[in-house]
Amino acid sequence: MYKNTAILTISSILFLSSCDKNNNDNTIINEFPTQTVVINNPIIDHLFTADPAGLVHNETVYIYTGHDEQVYGTNGFLMKDWHIFSSKNMVDWKDHGAAMSVSTFSWAKADAWAGQCVEKAGRFYWYVPMAHKTIGWFGIGVAVSDTPTGPFVDAKGAALITDKTPNSIELNIDPTVFVDDDGKAYLYWGGWGYCRMVKLKENMIELDGDVVDVPGLSGFTEAPWLHKKKGIYYLSYASGFPEKISYATSSSPLGPWTYKGVVNDLVKNSPTNHQSIIEFKNQAYFIYHNGGLYSGGEFRRSVCIDSLFYNLDGTIKQVKQTTKGVGKVL
């Protein structure tokens, strides 16, 4: 299904009934030009979507999202599957459906929370956290596919990270994986104020070394996202609660990280604030969620996109959240 841009047309129509010599027949004169108000945010309006993770591949933007199904007025996340959306112009989004669910992973029992899909050597690896059936609370799994839209299958048959992984944390959620230009991959994740990092082996489904702490992320809550631009590594993350999105930078994917400030302020109608940052056709985009859809809220969130801009020194300008969103990129 494609979501079309909502367009409101405001025509100011003026009835002139004066009886001057030139216009004495009550002609309707449209005195002002038609004004068009474009509403692209939220980008998906046929279901509630959260925790967006963008991926650019073959001139197409893919967004991997969680799916909020909680009943209006009821508390707690109800999330059973993930959807994939794609677009070639950042405005018309195709829903590829519930491409993966908790049942994809035999070891998981509930809570399809925030994940990310990355490409390496022509294969697509989708890292996701879920409540584990037998070990602690959350574990992080990885599924693999030969295409960005699936089908995805559990790549390991077991969780990659659990509460039993040495130096893991109480809430092993929100994995982000970054594949550097040299092909080396890094997994960051974190929840409830703790962030962890581990290198991944060439096969993308095994840990390569010890899990280490990630200091330097002021106010860290959850939702790390690692990206790189012009040799600078950026680690953005949700900070505080209700959450803003802050970021730190480094000259290495391993850190150390230097705190730089806030990228995104609080969002409408949702205390969580989960981001991804991508570049498509020479423009950077900030993909996030809010509770902005009709009947939306903390447990009924919606994905939005706004443009992101860098300063000349590489720092990031704070995002301007809009309902207009971004226009068609052709």
Q: 98 pairs with which residues across the strands?
A: 83
Instruction: Please state the closest distance from residue 37 (CB atom) to ligand FUB, in A.
Output: 29
Write down the least CB distance from residue 38 to ligand FUB, Å.
Answer: 27
Which C-beta is closer to ligand FUB: that of 51 or that of 306?
A: 51
Question: From the CB of 245, what's the least distance to ligand FUB, in Å?
Answer: 11
Which of 85, 113, 220, 288 binds ligand FUB (CB under 6 A)? It is: 113
**Smaller CB separation from ligand FUB, 114 or 303:** 114
Applying CB under 6 A, which of residues 99, 114, 263, 316 lies at the interface with ligand FUB? Answer: 114
Work out how close the CB of 35 gets to ligand FUB at its nearest, in angstroms, rounded to a whole number: 36
- With CB under 6 A as the contact rule, the residue among 54, 66, 148, 175 that binds ligand FUB is 66
For residue 262, give the amino acid letter: V
CB of 243 to ligand FUB, least distance (A): 8
Q: How far is the CB of 92 from ligand FUB (least distance, A)?
A: 26
Q: What pairs with residue 246 in β-bridges?
A: 237, 262
Q: Strand 244-250 relative to strand 232-239: parallel, antiparallel, unpaired?
A: antiparallel
196 binds ligand FUB (CB under 6 A): no
The contact pattern for ligand FUB, residues 161-190, with x = CB under 6 A and - = no contact, is ------------xx----------------
* Shortest Cβ 299–ligand FUB spacing (Å): 9
Choice between 54 and 91, CB closer to ligand FUB: 54
How would you list the strands of the sheet with 302-308, edge to edge?
Answer: 276-280, 283-290, 302-308
Tokens of 89: 């112009």
Rounded (to 5) percent helix, strand, coil in the chain? 0, 50, 50
- The Cα–Cα gap between 259 and 248 comes to 4
Closest by CA position to 200, among listed 215, 211, 216: 211
Site for ligand FUB in 38-57 (CB under 6 A): 50-51
- What are the E-state strand segments in 105-264? 108-110, 116-120, 123-132, 138-145, 153-154, 176-179, 185-191, 194-200, 212-213, 220-229, 232-239, 244-250, 258-264
Q: How far is the CB of 253 from ligand FUB (least distance, A)?
A: 21
The single residue among 274, 275, 291, 303 that binds ligand FUB, judged by CB under 6 A, is 274
Please give the residues from 205 up to 244 whose contact with ligand FUB meets the rule CB under 6 A: 222-223
Site residues for ligand FUB, 69-108, by CB under 6 A, read 77
Whole-Å CA distances, 93 to 1, 237, 305: 8, 26, 12
Q: How many CB atoms lie within 10 A of CB 287?
A: 24
Residues 6+ apart with CB under 8 A from 26: 15, 16, 17
Size of the site for ligand FUB (CB under 6 A): 12
* Residues of this chain that bind ligand FUB (CB under 6 A): 50-51, 66, 77, 113-114, 173-174, 222-223, 272, 274
